[in-house]
A = this chain, B = another copy of it.
Amino acid sequence: MAIEIERKFLVDEDLLPTADAKIAMVQAYLQADPERTVRVRLTDDSAFLTIKGKLVGFSRKEFEYPIPVEDARELLELAIYPPVEKVRHLIWVDGRKWEVDVFSGANLGLVLAELELPNENEQVDWPSWIKSEVTGQVKYHNSYLSQHPYRDWK
C-alpha cells in the first residue's frame, strides 16, 4: 500500500512541449464510487490492477498490482462503463516528472496534467502550460470520466 499524493491541472495544449516519452493506455473501472475505485489499466506491454481509497486533501491510499496483459483484456470486458483512452505524455520539468494525459475517444479535447508529490506541503512552480488546478474536483477523476465522458459535458 502506498499513499498517493497528487495534484491535477488543466493544460493549455498549444503550449505543451514535446514529451520525453509517450504511453498509450486504456483503462476501465470495476468499481467507480467516491469511496473506492478498482481500475484495470492496459498499455502496450503491461497491465495493472489498482485500488484507490477516498481522496482526502491531495492524498489517497493506493494499492497497485501487476497482472498479465491477457487478464487485463478480459477484465476490461467486466468493467461497469466503457474504457477511458488516453496517451500519457511524460514531461520532465526542473527534476519533476509531469504526467500529461491527452484523452481521445469519448474524452477527446480534454488534457490533464498530474504531478505526484512527496508530501502535501511541497511547493511547486507550475509550468507555463498549466491553466488551472482541478485537484479534488471529482469530475476530472478518470473514474468519473468513464461514466460521464467529456464530450457529454455542457
A75 in contact with B51 (CB, 8 Å): yes
Considering only CB atoms and an 8 Å cut-off, how many residues of chain A contact the other chain?
A: 20
Query: How many copies of this chain does the complex contain?
Result: 2
Report the bound CA distance from A70 to B31 in whole Å. Answer: 22
Residues of the B chain whose Cβ atoms lie less than 8 Å from the Cβ of A79:
36
CB of A46 to closest CB in B, whole Å? 15
Q: A residues 25-40 with Cβ under 8 Å of B?
A: 30-31, 35-36, 38
B75 in contact with A63 (CB, 8 Å): yes
Residues of A at the B interface (CB closer than 8 Å) are 1, 30-31, 35-36, 38, 49, 51, 53, 61, 63, 65, 67, 70-71, 74-75, 78-80
